[in-house]
Structure 1
C-alpha cells in the first residue's frame, strides 16, 4: 500500500490542519512493518515557507514529492503534471477541495472538518454560507469517499448532503505527545510568559464560536462568590468573520472586573503552549462547535482535567478527566469549575501524565490503522465504479 499525505496547510497559520497532517504521518509510520504503508509526503510548493512546521516528520516518510498546484478564478484546484505527482499511489489524502480531476486511478477522497455553517449559520455571511454549501454539495456528488473526524459530522453529512454511510468514513484524529513534551521546562515557560501559578488555561482561537464570553462571565460569577481563578488564554486574536469580536471581549473583561486574573498571550510557540498546559491546574474549553477538538485531545495526551461544553463532539470524544457543562451557560460552567476543583493541579511529572503518555502510543496505532482501512475502502470503492 502506497499512501500520499498531502501537505496543504501551514502558511495561513491553521494549526489544526498542520497537526492533522503531522499525526497522519506519525500514525502510519508507527504501524508494524507488515501493515505500514509506503508513505509519500506530497508537499504543496505554496507551503514552502511553512516547511519548518513539518521538519519533525520528514525522517518518518519514505519519499517527498513537491506538488505544484493552485486554484483558478472558479475555485477549481489544478495540479501541474498530476500523472507524475501521484504516480504509483493507492491513495492521496486529503485531496484539496476543488481538485476534481486527479488521475483516473486515484480515489477521490476529501476531508470535511465540520458543518458549522449548518449548525451555527449566524457566524457566517450569506456569501460564505452559499460558498460552503456549493463546495460541500459538489464534494458530496464527486467523492468516492468523504472523510469526517466524528460520528456527529457523519450524521450531519447524511442529513444535509444525503451521503450514504458506505460513502463516508469516520477517522477521529488524536494528539500524541512528542518526547520533548514530557521533559520540557514548565517553570521556564511560565517565567517567559509571566504566568503565575494556580491557573486555568483556555487554548482557543478568539473566534466567536469558541465562546470565551461564557468563560469570562463564569469567572466573574465565581469571583463575586469569593473564588478567584486565574486564567491564561492562547490563540489568535483575529476573527476574519467578526473583526470586532476580540475588542468586544476585551471590553467585557474590563466591565466584568476580571482583567487582573485574565492573561491573554495570543499565538505562542507550540512548545511553550504545551509546557503551560502541563503546568495548568485544568483546561477549560467552552466552544459551541467543533469537528473534533484538538484541545480535548491535547488534554487527553497530557492527563489534564478538562471542563468542556456538552456539544455532541465533546461527548463523543469523552476525555478521561473531563467534566461537561451546558454549552453557552456561564452559571453551569461556574458550577462545573467548582465541582471539578478537587481534580485540579499541574500534571507535569505525575503518574497521571505518565499513564496518558503510555496510552498515546495505542491511540496513534489506531489512527494509523484507520488511515490504512480508509485507503483500502477507498480503493475498493473506486474499483467498483
Structure 2
C-alpha cells in the first residue's frame, strides 16, 4: 500500500524558541524537500513570536521578578534577566536557502493547532514536541528529545522532572509513532517505557551543509565580532549540561603545557539557562579565576551564516557536553558538514558518529584529556574536503534522513487509515 500526501506540516511549536530546535526543524525541512516530489508542499508552522496581548505583555514584564522570587525561595542568588525570544526575521533567516516547495506560516499562539493545520489542509504533521492526542483529526508524528532528567536529576527541578515524565508518558501513550535523534534515545525509551506500543524511529546522523555557507561573507566578521587570530569555538547555548567549564579549564591547562598565550575560545549561543539563572555569571567567575578573562569571547546568539563562518575560521569545534539527544549536538553536525575538526566528549550518544573525518574524542568532564586533544588536533594533518565533496556527502545523509522521516509519516498515515 502506497500512501499519498500532498501537504506536510512541520510543527515548530516547542522548537522555535531555542537554537538547536530551529536547526532540527531546518534539518527536517531540508530532508523532506529533497525526498518528496515537486507536488508535495511543505509548511513550516511557527508560533508568532511577535504576537502580544495585554496578558502576554504583563507576563513577560513580570517573569524576571517571578524567577527572582523562585531563586530566593530555593536558596539561590537572584539574577535579573529578560528572556528575548527569536524575532520573525531571525526565524525566517534560519530557513533561507532550502530548495523545495516550502512556505512559512506564523500563527497566533492562542490559535488552536487543529484549526491552523485545517487552514492549510495538511495531510500529516511532523514532528510534534507535545502530544496532540489520539483523536487529533490529522495523523501526526511525535518527537522525544532525551532523558537527561533521568540521568542528571540535579540539573532539573522537581517540577521540571514531573513535567517531563508526564509529557513523555502521554506522548508514548497517545502517539502511534515518534522520531528521536539517536539510537541511544531509542534504547532509553525501551528502558524507561518497556510497555509502550509506540513505534520509535531513530534518525540517522544528518550532517548537511547548505550551499550558501560556502560563500564568502559580505562583512568583516573579525572586525564585527572582534575575533582573535587563533581560536577554538564552542557553539552551544549556555546550559549547565553543556559543560563549558571543562573547556575553559582545558584551555588553562593547554596554556600551562604549551605556554601559548595566543589561543582563545570563542563562544556562540544564548547565555541564559532558565533552569539555572546563575550559571552564566558563575561561569564568568570561573573564567576570571583561571586568568582567562581576555581569552574567552561571548558572542551570544548570532546569524547562522556568521556562526558557520566563525566555525570555519577556527582551529576546531569544542563539544564538551555531558548529555545530548543527538550525536554531538548541532555544533558537531555543522562541523562534520563543513569539514571542520571537532573535539567531542566520549558520551555514548556521541560515539554513534565515530569514523567521520576530523573527530577526536576526549573523556567527558576531563579537562586534562581535552587539553591533550586540543594540542593533538593542531598536529594532525586532516584531508581537506572541498565544497563539491562536502555537498555530495551531505546530500546523501540528508536523503537517508528524509527517507526515515517518510517511514514515520507513512506509518502514522497507515495507522490512521486502519483506525478509520
TM-score normalised by the chain length of structure 2 = 0.80
Q: How does 1:177-256 map to 2 (within 5 A)?
A: 177-185=209-217, 188-228=220-260, 229-256=263-290
Say whether the 8 Å CA contact 1:107–1:144 is kept in structure 2. no
Q: Provide the rounded CA distance (Å) in 1 between the counterparts of 2:20 and 2:414.
A: 29
Alignment of 1:330-341 (within 5 A): 330-341=367-378
Match of 1:303 among 336, 339, 360: 339
Distance 1:83 1:299 in 2: 35
Residue 190 of structure 2 is aligned to residue 158 of structure 1: yes
Structure 1 residues not aligned, in runs of 5+: 72-77
Q: After TM superposition, give the deviation of residue 87 of structure 1 in Å.
A: 3.7
Cα shift at 1:223:
1.3
CA RMSD of aligned residues (A): 2.8
1:266 match: secondary structure = coil
Mapping 1:1-385, distance limit 5 Å: 1-2=4-5, 3-8=8-13, 12=17, 14-31=18-35, 33=37, 38-47=40-49, 49-50=87-88, 52-53=92-93, 56=96, 60-61=100-101, 70=110, 78-79=112-113, 81=115, 84-85=118-119, 87=121, 89=123, 91-100=124-133, 103-104=136-137, 106-162=138-194, 167-172=199-204, 174-185=206-217, 188-228=220-260, 229-292=263-326, 293-318=329-354, 319-343=356-380, 351-352=385-386, 354-385=388-419
Aligned length: 371
Deviation of residue 289 (structure 1)? 0.5
Deviation of the 1:163 alpha carbon: 5.3
- The 1:203/1:66 distance shift into structure 2, 3 A limit, reads closer
CA drift of 1:201 comes to: 0.8
Alpha-carbon separation, structure 1, partners of 2:231 and 2:187: 37
- Report the Cα distance in structure 2 between the residues aligned to 1:353 and 1:378, rounded to whole angstroms: 37
Query: Compared with structure 1, are the counterparts of its residues 360 and 222 closer, same or farther at alpha carbon in structure 2 (3 Å cutoff)?
Result: same
Q: 1:100 to 1:226 in 2, by over 3 A?
A: same
Using the TM superposition, give the Cα deviation of residue 45 of structure 1 relative to its aligned residue in structure 2, in angstroms: 4.8
Taking a change above 3 Å as real, the CA distance of residues 373 and 195 of structure 1, as seen in their structure-2 partners, is same
SS at match of 1:134: helix
Residue pair 2:141, 2:412 contacting (<8 A) in 1 also: yes
Question: Structure 2: which 5+ residue stretches go unaligned?
Answer: 51-86
Which TM-score applies when normalising by structure 1? 0.87
User: For residues 186 and 202 of structure 1, what CA distance do their matches in structure 2 show?
Assistant: 23
Q: Is the Cα–Cα contact under 8 Å of residues 286 and 327 in structure 1 kept in the other structure?
A: yes
